[in-house]
Structure 1
Amino acid sequence: MESNKEQWPEELDALLAAPKHHKLLFENEKVRVIDACIPSGETTELHTHKWPASLYVISWSDFVRYDSDGNIVLDSKNLAKSPSTSSAFWSGPLPPHTLCNTGLQDLHIISVEIKT
C-alpha cells in the first residue's frame, strides 16, 4: 500500500481543511483515528484522506461525493447496498473531494487510517 501523502497538499488533509466535520480521536506512528460527522444538508470543505482506512458506521445517510472540479464521483443512492449502523468497511485513500450529506440523518463515521 502506498500513501498519497506526497501527491496532495498537506493543507488539504481532512483535519486541516475540513475541521468542522473531522475530529482527531487518536494518533501515533501507525494509525490515525478520526471522528467524521456530516449533519444532514451540510457539505464539507475540499479535503483528502491520504491513507487507506477501516471505516466504522455510527449512523448512515445518503451523500454525494464530488471531486475537486465539482464532478460527481459517488452518489450513495447508487450503491448496491448501504452500510448498516455498527458495520465496517474498507476505503482506499481519497483524493481531493467534498461530500454533501443529502439524506435525513447525520453521516457519522469513525475512520481508522493505516499510515503506510
Structure 2
Amino acid sequence: MPAPETSDWPDHLDALIAAPGHHRLLFENDAVRVVETILPPGERTPLHTHRWPGPLHLISWSDILRRDASGTVLMDSRTSGIERVAGVVTWGSALQPHTLENVGDATFRAITTELKHL
C-alpha cells in the first residue's frame, strides 16, 4: 500500500488543532514532535490526522475503534488479532483523517514521537 499523501491533509485536522482535548504537545523541534494521546473510556476524538509516522509507546491500554471520515471502521482492537498491552512500543504510521473511540473500560494513553523527515 502506498504511503498516504499527508501534504493533502488540511492543517486544521492536525491532532493538536482538531482534537486538543485528547492530544497534548510534549516536545517539538525541526526533526520531531512528541504527542501524548489520552482517551478516557467512552470518549471519542473529533476527526483529526497524524501527519508523521514514528514510534508509539502504549502507556496504558484500552480497546479502541478507529474510523475514517465517513464513519467506516478501519480498526477494531477487539478483533484485530494483535495483543496490545501497556508498556509496548510499536510503529505508528501517519494516519489519514480519523476518529478514535475508547470502547474499553480503562483510559487509553500513548506517546508518539512523530518523525518529521522520514
**TM-score normalised by structure 2 residue count:** 0.93
* Residues 19-50 of structure 1: per-residue CA shift (max 9 Å, x gap): 00000000000100001000000000000001
**Structure 2 residue 30 is the aligned partner of structure 1 residue 29:** yes
Q: Secondary structure at the match of 2:12?
A: helix
Q: Secondary structure at the match of 1:78?
A: coil
Q: CA deviation at 1:5?
A: 3.7
After TM superposition, the runs of 4+ consecutive aligned structure 1 residues lying more than 4 A away are none
* Residues 59-102 of structure 1: per-residue CA shift (max 9 Å, x gap): 00001110000111000011223221111000111000001100
Q: CA deviation at 1:53?
A: 1.6
* Bigger shift: residues 41-50 or 76-85: 76-85
Q: Secondary structure at the match of 2:9?
A: coil
Alignment gaps of 5+ in structure 2: none
Q: What percent identity do the matched residue pairs reach? A: 44
Alignment gaps of 5+ in structure 1: none
Aligned to 2:104: 103
Structure 2 counterparts to residues 80-91 of structure 1, below 5 A: 80-91=81-92
Structure 2 counterparts to residues 67-86 of structure 1, below 5 A: 67-86=68-87
Partners of 1:103 and 1:12 lie apart in 2 by 25
Q: Which amino acid aligns with 1:8?
A: W
Q: CA deviation at 1:55?
A: 0.4
Structure 2 counterparts to residues 10-89 of structure 1, below 5 A: 10-89=11-90
Whether the aligned pair in 2 keeps the contact of 1:59 and 1:85 (CA below 8 Å) is: yes
Paired residues in the alignment total 115
